[in-house]
Amino acid sequence: MRRVLVLGSTGSIGKQTLEVVQRLPQRLQVVGLATYRDYETLLAQAQAFGVRALGLLEPPSNGTLADVRYCGVEGLCALAQRDDVDVVVVALGGAIALKPTLAALQAGKTVALATKEVLVAAGEAVMATARQHNAPILPIDSEHSGAFQAMHAGTPNQVARLILTASGGPFRTRPLNTFDAITVEEALKHPNWDMGAKITVDSATMMNKGLEVIEAQHLFGLQLEQVETLIHPQSIVHALVEFVDGSVIAQLSLPDMRLPIEYALLYPDRADIQLPRLRLEQVGQLTFESPDSARYPCLELAYAAARTGGTMPTVLNAANEVAVRAFLKRQIRFTDIPRLVEQAMAAHTPQPATLENALQADAWARAFLQARLPSLA
């Protein structure tokens, strides 16, 4: 029986994680739940799963709630280090998940990582912590889960190239001269995946894929030039790994996040959780195309940040979080997202990628863009 803590339990990945646990009651048990501020949903989940160890990142201003023992970032760090936790699912959106992730790794926990921003913001420090404490990091992202599975066909030094696929989002064929008019509602209509608001917007800009490229560098120890992206509108092929002999191994499945969640929770085992099966004759065609930099400038910004290195990916991620939040609040246009991220990157002097520098760069980027938002409203 593996004992599971879910950080971000009220979000899309968190809810799907709980569904997977429900389908495997003999193998998985939820022992802890935490979220940002959705107290009512958290309580309902706790009652459904019989969980007492609860956490809130942002408890109500009128004081700590009696049912919640772990509050704020430090509270979630303590929750992640509990003795009765085997696997910590990190599904909190954004770099706020960094410290609880590090705490889990320092305690030797297995981390099932859905929050790619953790490795983008401080990948070197996170991977060093994992190695130091012999704590596995297993990806929940469909693309990185696919890559992880495909890489089992060889050894790490035999990997020549990793290709991450992207759906292209809802605007893959939309005329570029109409992008200024894109609404929040349009950006949140992903053609294939059911995800949270922030990651859905990131998919539309393809910043999500750019962050995944940086994540893959750290997770798999690859050079930037070894990680490529392809648009694959059907979202059936999630990742392809090319080995030094030219052989290419791909991982295919229907677009359903419960599959990579199940794989991460049970690794190296697998289980049938009664998901719909892929029938290629029903899919018909699998198509691929190269991303258009004019359509997806955020992807190019991510590659530029990765090439620069140091704290530049941290700034990329923090600036994007601020810009996407402003777009969702209807403070800026869709096309302002890459523009703001580029401004923050241009103003930043990158520093070595230590944890302290990453935290400082993250705070700097958020303050830098927050100061510019009123002039764009």
What confidence tens digit (pLDDT) does each residue in 29-85 have? 999 999 998 989 999 999 999 999 999 998 776 555 667 889 999 999 999 999 999
User: Where in the chain is CATH 3.40.50.720?
Assistant: 2-139
Res 94: pLDDT: 80
Q: What is the per-residue pLDDT across 309-357, written as a single tens digit (0 to 9) for each?
A: 999 999 999 999 999 999 999 999 999 999 999 999 999 999 999 999 9
CATH class of 2-139: alpha beta
**If you average pLDDT over every residue of the chain, what do you get?**
93
Res 376: pLDDT: 61
User: Where in the chain is CATH 1.10.1740.10?
Assistant: 179-184+295-377
Going from the C-alpha of 111 to that of each of 6, 33, 107, 239, 351, the distances in angstroms are 10, 15, 11, 21, 27
> Which pTM does this prediction carry?
0.92
284 burial via Cβ count (<10 Å: 0-12, 13-18, 19+): exposed
Report the distance separating Cα 251 and Cα 350, nearest Å: 36
Report the distance separating Cα 54 and Cα 67, nearest Å: 7
**Contact assessment for residue 315 and residue 357, using Cβ atoms and an 8 Å cutoff:** no
194: helix, strand or coil: coil
Closest CA to 91 of 74, 72, 116, 69: 116
The position carrying tokens 């690859």 is 222
- CATH assignment, 179-184+295-377: 1.10.1740.10
Could you count the other beta carbons within 10 Å of the beta carbon of residue 221? 12
Rg (CA), the chain: 20
pLDDT tens track of the chain, all 377 residues?
999 999 999 999 999 999 999 999 999 999 999 999 898 999 999 999 999 999 999 877 655 566 788 999 999 999 999 999 999 999 998 888 999 999 999 999 999 999 988 999 899 999 999 999 999 999 999 999 999 999 999 999 999 999 999 999 899 999 999 999 999 999 998 776 667 788 889 999 999 999 999 999 999 999 999 999 999 999 999 999 999 999 999 999 999 999 999 999 999 999 999 999 999 999 999 999 999 999 999 999 999 999 999 999 999 999 999 999 999 999 999 999 999 999 999 999 999 999 999 999 999 999 999 998 866 65
Length of the chain: 377
The position carrying tokens 């989002």 is 169
Report the distance separating Cα 179 and Cα 313, nearest Å: 25
Res 136: pLDDT: 97
Dihedral angle at the C-alpha atoms of 206, 118, 2, 154, nearest 10 degrees?
Answer: 70
Report the distance separating Cα 168 and Cα 146, nearest Å: 18
Report the distance separating Cα 295 and Cα 205, nearest Å: 8
Res 377: pLDDT: 52
